Amino acid sequence: MSDQSHMMSHSEWPTVSVVMPIRNEAKYLEQSVQSILLQTYPREFDICLAVAPSSDATEAIAQSLCTQNHRISVIENPSGKTASGLNAAIA
């Protein structure tokens, strides 16, 4: 069997949601999101930022990124717990 027989057509690739629970990530957030947006993927994908209470500019940066790109959404993660942020994002 050739390698080409294992290749999926673009329509067979799933759409993807990248979930990022974040807290006090102002220093790295923009670079992290831009890195995801620059990925080559044959279908649509979106990014959900689950923002926990932060003592830096994380929330403001997340909101700014959201207004700049329709593929980015922001949800609140008031508990600050990673599992809570993941659950809220996939709900």
Residue 25, domain CATH: 3.90.550.10
The count of structural domains within the chain is: 1
- Torsion sign over Cα 65, 70, 75, 80: negative
Distance between CA 73 and CA 65 in Å, rounded? 9
pLDDT at 91: 86
Tell me if 28 is assigned to some domain: yes
Tell me if 25 is assigned to some domain: yes
Tell me if 47 is assigned to some domain: yes
The domain of 78 spans 15-90
Alpha carbon of 8 to those of 3, 31, 64, 80: distances in Å?
Answer: 11, 30, 35, 39
Distance between CA 78 and CA 59 in Å, rounded? 12
State yes or no: pLDDT of 1 exceeds 50.
Answer: no
pLDDT at 9: 76
Tell me if 4 is assigned to some domain: no
Q: What is the pLDDT of residues 21-68, one digit of tens each?
A: 999 999 999 999 999 999 999 999 999 999 999 999 999 999 999 999
Tell me if 9 is assigned to some domain: no
pLDDT at 16: 94
pLDDT at 3: 54
